[in-house]
């Protein structure tokens, strides 16, 4: 290892047990020897130099390319040692901090998410094969943070609990019109239509997700109640009793927050309720992680509350509840990572080995960020009037218990003929 990288790692890794073998074959050991031992090897000087000067991007790319291999332990263990020592504020070399500062300065240029560019960004990630996502998601294909409300829950149980939690905060009841912005594989929209006989419009920019969601609605005979469209939320003119958005706001881009909340306010009826579920950070605003921006979520940004609140306030919407889900996404990602690795041969057959290493790094790094960095999930309940939701939070748990005990709306589940889908008020 070169001296710069040795000094950086020595400053960073004060606890834990890390060995690194450099291109010359010499091995250096770092930390206090506690915990699981991780041994990494850097195979060539090109990768070593890149990691020295831009570790947040180059380590991931070197692992993807096979220029970094893990001899003992795994990539999650390596990231764990780094993040546990860094803490949320991070320990970086001066040049790495300067590079991150430069990225922060240019973040708005990287997040000009026009309608056309938003479609391109979605295509890069969400139009990957549905068969890939089936390898690691729950049976309902929920690709967002689950809700672990008791110990020992399975992934499927926690995703069901998430849907009940959201429905409770939406004050769902029979017959409402609902807009699902970023409807994914359709699971939440189908749940709302099935359980409450609601009229749901789900919009997405992913052709793969749209096809799967539409097929699911037809298979469940719910297409009289829920309709999925390839449509940008900015093009919607209807108004709705309820609006929900789960895991989509991270792709809006900081330049477009005012547009998003202004549009949401115009689509929400005066007595309506909205629930926004998004990854966020408890610290100050920073640039999107370089690896995530380049290889996983182009155009994406994880907001701090301070970035969101001014746009909400200007829109005329009012915040009626904020909940911060800590560690729920870490547990979700643990399940996804374990499932993905158990099926990595199948994933490689769909794509290739480099793709598998990229996604292993993505899932491992994301889990570690929720465990040891400042990432959380915000659930923000919004309304246009302060009297449309109860004045205490007891109703949320009460509704969740009621939803859990209630049978599926059998008339909907059996596909009972019904009048054509009601059009939301304009």
- The pLDDT, as a whole number, for residue 299 is 83
Cβ atoms of 285 and 264 closer than 8 Å = no
Query: What are the pLDDT digits (tens) for 341-358?
Result: 999 999 999 999 999 999
- The pTM is what? 0.90
Which helix (DSSP H) or strand (DSSP E) does residue 354 occupy? helix 353-372
For 22, residues 6+ apart whose C-beta sits below 8 A from its C-beta are 1, 2, 28, 42, 48
- With cut-offs at 50, 70 and 90, classify the pLDDT of residue 378: very high
- With cut-offs at 50, 70 and 90, classify the pLDDT of residue 422: very low
- The pLDDT, as a whole number, for residue 194 is 96
Query: What are the pLDDT digits (tens) for 295-343?
Result: 998 888 999 999 999 999 999 999 999 999 999 999 999 999 999 999 9
Which helix (DSSP H) or strand (DSSP E) does residue 274 occupy? strand 268-281
Q: Is the pLDDT of residue 101 over 70?
A: no
- With cut-offs at 50, 70 and 90, classify the pLDDT of residue 421: very low
Per-residue b or e along 45-72, where b marks 16 or more CB atoms closer than 10 Å to that residue's CB: eebbbbbbebbbbbbbbbbbeebbeeee
- The pLDDT, as a whole number, for residue 113 is 62
Both tokens of 52, joined, read 């020295």
CA distances from 71 to 37, 167, 354 (A): 10, 46, 18
- The pLDDT, as a whole number, for residue 110 is 61
Residue appearing with tokens 């020595």: 10
- Rounded to whole angstroms, how far apart are CA atoms 391 and 103? 43
Both tokens of 249, joined, read 């706001």
- With cut-offs at 50, 70 and 90, classify the pLDDT of residue 125: confident
- With cut-offs at 50, 70 and 90, classify the pLDDT of residue 392: very high
- Rounded to whole angstroms, how far apart are CA atoms 284 and 303? 9
CA distances from 283 to 279, 280, 302 (A): 13, 9, 11
Distance of CA 391 to the CA centre of its chain: 30
Instruction: Return the bridge partners of 70, or none.
Output: 40
Average pLDDT over residues 160-164: 98
Strand, coil or helix: what is 291?
helix
Sketch out the chain's domains with CATH numbers: 3-105 (3.30.1050), 115-413 (3.40.50.150)
- The pLDDT, as a whole number, for residue 409 is 55
- The pLDDT, as a whole number, for residue 126 is 82
- The pLDDT, as a whole number, for residue 411 is 36
Question: Comparing 54-63, 136-145, 289-298, which segment has the lowest mean pLDDT?
Answer: 289-298
Q: Is the pLDDT of residue 424 over 50?
A: no
Q: Is the pLDDT of residue 73 over 50?
A: yes
Averaged pLDDT score across all residues of the chain: 90
- The pLDDT, as a whole number, for residue 97 is 56
Cβ atoms of 375 and 369 closer than 8 Å = yes
3 C-beta neighbours (distance < 10 Å), count = 8
CA distances from 356 to 62, 132, 208, 387 (A): 13, 10, 20, 50
């Amino acid at each position: 290892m070169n001296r710069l990288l040795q000094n950086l790692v020595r400053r960073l890794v004060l606890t834990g047990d890390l060995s690194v073998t450099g291109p010359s074959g010499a091995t250096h050991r770092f930390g206090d020897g506690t915990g699981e031992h991780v041994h990494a090897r850097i195979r060539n000087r090109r990768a070593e130099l890149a990691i020295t000067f831009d570790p947040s991007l180059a380590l991931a790319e070197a692992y993807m390319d096979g220029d970094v291999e893990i001899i003992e332990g795994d990539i999650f263990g390596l990231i764990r040692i780094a993040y546990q020592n860094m803490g949320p504020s991070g320990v970086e070399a001066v040049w790495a901090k300067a590079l991150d500062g430069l990225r922060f300065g240019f973040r708005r240029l990287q997040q000009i998410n026009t309608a056309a560019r938003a479609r391109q960004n979605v295509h890069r990630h969400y139009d990957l094969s549905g068969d890939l996502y089936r390898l690691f998601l729950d049976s309902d294909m929920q690709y967002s943070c689950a809700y672990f409300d008791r110990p020992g829950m399975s992934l499927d149980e926690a995703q069901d609990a998430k849907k009940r939690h959201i429905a409770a905060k939406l004050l769902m009841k029979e017959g409402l019109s609902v807009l699902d912005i970023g409807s994914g594989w359709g699971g939440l929209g189908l749940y709302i239509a099935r359980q409450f006989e609601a009229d749901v419009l789900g919009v997405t920019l992913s052709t793969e997700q749209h096809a799967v969601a539409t097929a699911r609605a037809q298979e469940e005979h719910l297409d009289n109640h829920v309709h999925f469209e390839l449509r940008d939320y900015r093009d919607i003119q209807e108004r709705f009793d309820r609006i929900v958005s789960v895991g989509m706001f991270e792709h809006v881009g900081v330049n477009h927050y005012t547009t998003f909340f202004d549009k949401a306010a115009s689509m929400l009826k005066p007595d309506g309720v909205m629930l926004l579920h998004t990854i966020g950070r408890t610290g100050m605003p920073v640039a999107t992680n370089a690896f995530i921006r380049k290889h996983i979520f182009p155009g994406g940004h994880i907001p701090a509350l301070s970035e969101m609140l001014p746009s909400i306030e200007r829109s005329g919407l009012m915040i009626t509840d904020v909940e911060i889900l800590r560690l729920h996404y870490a547990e979700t990602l643990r399940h996804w990572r374990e499932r993905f690795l158990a099926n990595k041969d199948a994933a490689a057959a769909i794509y290739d080995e480099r793709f598998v290493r990229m996604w292993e790094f993505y899932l491992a790094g994301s889990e570690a960020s929720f465990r040891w960095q400042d990432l959380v999930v915000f659930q923000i309940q919004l309304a246009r009037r302060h009297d449309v939701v109860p004045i205490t939070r007891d109703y949320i748990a009460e509704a969740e218990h009621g939803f859990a005990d209630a049978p599926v709306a059998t008339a909907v589940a059996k596909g009972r003929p019904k009048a054509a889908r009601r059009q939301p008020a304009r």
